[in-house]
């Protein structure tokens, strides 16, 4: 937060759940809200539901909001079949797989090629990513 890096949230949860999480956990810790927050029931500029990951639509929506190209964005996620595939399909500058030890795939991703599931980097904690970003600061990041 102190580096003011842009952060978006892209989740399979619904908007109400995202708002609840922010109001009851993040806000109380002084964390700023993710902007934008894209949930499975979020609407785009035309009022249409934003197509869920692993399709790249939500990342493209975030890039439009930030006025940047996907190549300037780092997609961080815990699912290689959803998050990493979406980031690679969108053309993100990097994809980072947070290895939690839990299979967090939606099961709705359909078929993806092995190369689409390959991240740029694998990490075990977000602290690892924070250290890397501090060393090589980039102006935009999506999670």
Q: Tokens 């694998």 identify what position?
A: 122
Q: In the block, which residue shows the tokens 């990490």?
A: 123
Question: Which tokens go with 10?
Answer: 């892209």
Buried b (16+ CB within 10 A) or exposed e, 101-131: eeeebeeebeebeeebbebeeebeeeeebee
Model pLDDT, residue 75? 97
Q: Are 143 and 33 a contacting pair, CB within 8 Å?
A: no
The rounded Cα 32 to chain-centroid distance in angstroms is 16
pLDDT above 90: residue 88: yes
Return the percentage of the chain with pLDDT > 70, whole number: 86
Mean pLDDT, all residues of the chain? 88
Q: What percent of the chain has pLDDT over 90?
A: 71
Residue 94 near residue 66, CB atoms below 8 Å: no
Please tell me which of 20-29, 88-97, 129-138 the model is most confident about, judged by mean pLDDT: 88-97
Beta bridge partners of 38: 10
Question: pTM here?
Answer: 0.85
**C-alpha–C-alpha distance, residues 97 and 87, integer Å:** 10
Residue 24 reports pLDDT greater than 90 = yes
pLDDT at 95 over 80: yes
Give pLDDT tens digits for 40-74: 999 999 999 999 999 999 999 999 999 999 999 99
In b/e form, how buried is each residue of 64-98, taking b as 16+ CB within 10 angstroms?
A: eebebebebbbbbbbbbbbbbbbbbbbebbbbbbb
């Amino acid at each position: 937060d102190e580096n003011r890096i842009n952060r978006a949230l892209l989740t399979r949860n619904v908007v109400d759940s995202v708002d609840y999480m922010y109001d009851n956990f993040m806000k109380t810790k002084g964390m700023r809200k993710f902007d934008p927050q894209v949930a499975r029931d979020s609407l785009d500029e035309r009022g249409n539901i934003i197509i869920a990951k692993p399709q790249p639509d939500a990342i493209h929506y975030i890039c439009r909001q930030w006025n940047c190209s996907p190549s300037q964005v780092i997609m961080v996620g815990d699912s290689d079949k959803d998050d990493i595939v979406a980031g690679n399909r969108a053309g993100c500058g990097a994809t980072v797989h947070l290895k939690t030890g839990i299979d967090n795939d939606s099961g709705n991703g359909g078929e993806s090629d092995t190369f689409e599931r390959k991240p740029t980097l694998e990490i075990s904690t977000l602290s690892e990513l924070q250290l890397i970003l501090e060393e090589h600061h980039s102006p935009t990041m999506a999670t």
